[in-house]
Amino acid sequence: MGGTFDPIHHGHLVAASEVKDRFDLDEVIFVPTGQPWQKAGKNVSAAEDRYLMTVIATASNPSFSVSRVDVDRHKDTYTVDTLRDLHDQHPDADLYFITGADALETILTWQNWEEMFELAKFVGVSRPGYELGIDHLADHLAGQPADALTLVEIPAMAISSTDCRLRASENRPVWYLVPDGVVQYISKRNLYRPRGAERHDGAITVSGPAPQHDTGTTHNSSRTQNRENT
Ligand SMILES: Nc1ncnc2c1ncn2[C@@H]1O[C@H](COP(=O)(O)OP(=O)(O)OP(=O)(O)O)[C@@H](O)[C@H]1O
Ligand SMILES: O=C(O)c1ccc[n+]([C@@H]2O[C@H](COP(=O)([O-])O)[C@@H](O)[C@H]2O)c1
């Protein structure tokens, strides 16, 4: 499953889990983009931060792993390259590429998109707010095997990275939209804060009410913890 994962959220994880189950896949490899060329001009967090958040989010699932192929390519990320690299690493595997309904809508704008269908089967998953359809691909799919692209309805998770970033920038909670470790990573690395909002006193701000396992001691609308205690 490819994505910018800025940050990775439970919508991504549910999509991966559902597709793994439906297709009885051995594993799901999450592939954070290196340089997402269609997001050029937008603020995208450092690839290493997005990679590490993806590792944190997937660490507890033995069927999930994270690949650095796109991060380490150090040029614009094209899925056709992702699939070529994964194919080289797993020559005997049948590759499936998982994509949400919004990404599927734009797939004809991707670099060398026709070759992608030679390298992997595609799975389009539903996403709230987007139509899950293949009409725009009908001409191309006419010559392809029936399983070249499958559409799958998954539990609706109305979560986006855009909303998570906005929430973090406004000091509103992202708890339960992203895995706990990702909330903590965002806080530790001060991601998504408006410029100038960084603290310089060794403390970090964790937004929103604390979940039970959090040992923060104060319970104001924005809690402050000493970095040494986290
Ligand atoms: N809530 C969701 N449900 C299903 N699929 C999703 C969901 N969120 C993202 N996806 C899919 O996961 C892949 C990676 O998405 P991406 O990392 O761009 O997240 P995003 O939430 O769409 O980010 P942004 O809001 O920054 O555009 C894409 O194929 C996207 O369609
Ligand atoms: O190959 C391309 O040209 C291409 C263009 C846009 C997006 N993609 C891929 O689509 C996936 C989701 O991208 P994004 O930017 O919506 O997170 C990710 O794996 C990207 O590399 C790929």
Whole-number Å distance, alpha carbon 93 to ligand 1 midpoint, is 25
What pLDDT, on a 0 to 100 scale, did the predictor assign at position 218?
29
222-226/203-207 β-pairing? antiparallel
Nearest residue by C-alpha to atom 21 in ligand 1: 160
Q: State which ligand 2 atom lies nearest to the alpha carbon of 5.
A: 17
Whole-number Å distance, alpha carbon 36 to ligand 2 midpoint, is 6
What pLDDT, on a 0 to 100 scale, did the predictor assign at position 196?
62
Mutate to test the pocket of ligand 1, among 64, 127, 130, 159 (most ligand atoms within 8 A of CB): 127
CB 80 within 8 A of CB 115: yes
pLDDT per residue as tens digits for the range 11-35: 999 999 999 999 999 999 999 999 9
Ligand 1 lined by 70 (C-beta under 6 Å): no
What pLDDT, on a 0 to 100 scale, did the predictor assign at position 127?
98
Looking at residues 49-55, what average pLDDT do you find?
98
Nearest residue by C-alpha to atom 16 in ligand 1: 3
Query: What is the pTM for the complete model shown?
Result: 0.88
pLDDT per residue as tens digits for the range 151-177: 999 999 999 999 999 999 999 999 999
Q: State which ligand 1 atom lies nearest to the alpha carbon of 1.
A: 13
Looking at residues 92-113, what average pLDDT do you find?
97
What pLDDT, on a 0 to 100 scale, did the predictor assign at position 141?
86
Span of 28-42, 107-121, 167-181, 198-212 with lowest mean pLDDT: 198-212
